[in-house]
Amino acid sequence: MGMNVQETMSSPLVWHPQTAAEAWILKQNFGIESVYISGGTLLRTHWESGVAAMPQHLIDLSAIRGLNDCKIGEQDLLIGGQMSLQACRTNLFLQRHFPMVTEAIRTIAAPSIRQIATIGGNVASNIGDSIPALLVYDAEVSWYDGSAELQTPLSEWLLHANDSSRENERLLLSLQLPFKKSEDDSIHDSDEEKDSNAKMKRFSAYHKVGRREAFTPSVVTAAIKGSLTKSGVLKEIRIALGGGQTIPQRIEQLEKEIIEAAVDARLLQHVYDRILQLYEPREDIFASAAYRKTTAANLIVTELWKAAKV
Ligand SMILES: Cc1cc2nc3c(=O)[nH]c(=O)nc-3n(C[C@H](O)[C@H](O)[C@H](O)COP(=O)(O)OP(=O)(O)OC[C@H]3O[C@@H](n4cnc5c(N)ncnc54)[C@H](O)[C@@H]3O)c2cc1C
């Protein structure tokens, strides 16, 4: 009964820090010989496909206290980064007030994987399919930088996604989704002004296009959220696009151009043309950048048209 020496030698050491500070110190000590791991579902695919080698030290974040559930605060919903995608998907508050997040999660992987995969891992991967939905709700990220817990808009967090020198600094702890509590104690996401509700038509949609109907990696993800006056003028608009290896982004320049405009055929053409110009998806062997741009433009234009039509 000989021991498989090679396997023993190549097995990593798994650390279970109890606090963000402990996790941080481990990462500082082991540097590139280590990796933070939450559910490990994405990391495993990297190791198995040879995209990355398994490092010697795995810093398992699942034991860090207080990151496993959702808390409804005064002005935001706090989602612990260690919450599983399944727990997020079945959370009633998220379903009711942030339905695009629930919808995005529904499209990720399969139920068995969603039990293990975390929302924190999805966001920390910088390309997770939940990100466009989170972006249009103005999500913020809480993270630990070695001395304090900082809060940053998710859109800003993503700007540093490719900055490898900051790798050690980014220990994601939780996400915040802002909302406003109105006097009757009902809750709206933060742009929703109670008194303008009656006059305003609100719309939102999340789409994921893959290479097949279900259980598929994304080619394009698109989230849109806005409000229209009765006469069809856009009073609020957020558009976020991602998919595949593209780091999702808000198309803020376009948002600025169309706010206060009436949704008509000319505006729809403008939106279409500008998405082709402004959105810069990464291409891979499965789909060209041109295909991704066109798909994204079609999805967004269709949703705007639907919102203005009914
Ligand atoms: C079969 C299959 C299908 C999949 N389909 C999809 C899909 O459709 N859409 C999709 O978006 N994803 C998909 N995934 C990828 C993955 O399951 C999800 O992105 C998942 O949410 C990742 O979460 P995790 O907890 O497993 O992350 P992990 O694998 O643990 O980590 C992911 C990355 O984030 C880093 N990380 C994790 N937590 C933190 C933290 N708190 N702070 C800093 N860095 C951190 C890790 O070092 C790693 O780089 C799929 C995976 C598999 C195996």
> Any idea which residue has 């780091």 for tokens?
247
Per-residue pLDDT band for 7 (boundaries 50, 70, 90) equals very low
User: Taking 90 as the threshold, does the pLDDT of residue 192 lie above it?
Assistant: no
What pLDDT score does 239 carry? Answer: 98
Q: How far is the CA of 150 from the centre of ligand 1 (A)?
A: 22
pLDDT in tens, 270-282: 999 999 999 999 9
Mean pLDDT of the chain: 91
Note the CATH number of domain 70-181. Answer: 3.30.465.10
Q: How far is the CA of 187 from the centre of ligand 1 (A)?
A: 30
Q: Which amino acid is at 31?
A: G
User: Taking 60 as the threshold, does the pLDDT of residue 196 lie above it?
Assistant: no
Q: How far is the CA of 39 from the centre of ligand 1 (A)?
A: 7
Mean pLDDT of 197-207: 88
Point out the ligand 1 atom lying closest to the alpha carbon of residue 45: 53
What residues are in contact with ligand 1 under a 6 Å CB criterion?
Answer: 35-43, 45, 61, 81, 85, 108-109, 113, 117-118, 120-122, 124-125, 128-129, 170-172, 217
Mean pLDDT of 201-215: 89
For 24, the enclosing helix (H) or strand (E) is: helix 20-30
User: Taking 80 as the threshold, does the pLDDT of residue 172 lie above it?
Assistant: yes
What pLDDT score does 156 carry? Answer: 95
What pLDDT score does 310 carry? Answer: 67
Point out the ligand 1 atom lying closest to the alpha carbon of residue 130: 11
What pLDDT score does 217 carry? Answer: 86
Note the CATH number of domain 199-309. Answer: 3.30.390.50
pLDDT in tens, 80-126: 999 999 999 999 999 999 999 999 999 999 999 999 999 999 999 99
Per-residue pLDDT band for 205 (boundaries 50, 70, 90) equals very high
Pairing of strands 201-210, 218-228: antiparallel
pLDDT in tens, 14-56: 999 999 999 999 999 999 999 999 999 999 999 999 999 999 9
Ligand 1: residue of 16, 42, 57, 145 to mutate (most ligand atoms within 8 A of CB) is 42
Note the CATH number of domain 12-63. Answer: 3.30.43.10
Give the number of other CB atoms < 10 A from CB of residue 43: 20
Alpha carbons within 13 A on the beta-carbon side of 150: 12
Sorted by where each begins, the domain ranges of the chain are 12-63, 70-181, 199-309
Under DSSP, the state recorded for 195 is G
What pLDDT score does 182 carry? Answer: 63
What pLDDT score does 190 carry? Answer: 64
| Nearest protein Cα to ligand 1, atom 1 | 109
pLDDT in tens, 223-240: 999 999 999 999 999 999
What pLDDT score does 162 carry? Answer: 81
Q: Which backbone phi and psi does 198 adopt, to 5 degrees?
A: -65, -35
What pLDDT score does 81 carry? Answer: 98
What pLDDT score does 195 carry? Answer: 44
Q: How far is the CA of 44 from the centre of ligand 1 (A)?
A: 9
Mean pLDDT of 57-70: 95
Give the number of other CB atoms < 10 A from CB of residue 214: 8
What pLDDT score does 3 carry? Answer: 38
| Nearest protein Cα to ligand 1, atom 8 | 108
Per-residue pLDDT band for 166 (boundaries 50, 70, 90) equals low
Mean pLDDT of 267-296: 95
For 309, the enclosing helix (H) or strand (E) is: helix 289-309
Q: Which amino acid is at 22?
A: E
Mean pLDDT of 177-183: 79
Tokens of 294: 């066109």
List beta partners, residue 37.
60
C-alpha dihedral (82, 84, 90, 93), degrees to nearest 10: 20
- 72 touches 66 (CB < 8 A): no
Ligand 1: residue of 15, 103, 125 to mutate (most ligand atoms within 8 A of CB) is 125
| Nearest protein Cα to ligand 1, atom 15 | 42
Point out the ligand 1 atom lying closest to the alpha carbon of residue 171: 42
What pLDDT score does 211 carry? Answer: 83
- 104 touches 241 (CB < 8 A): no
Mean pLDDT of 151-176: 87
What pLDDT score does 112 carry? Answer: 95
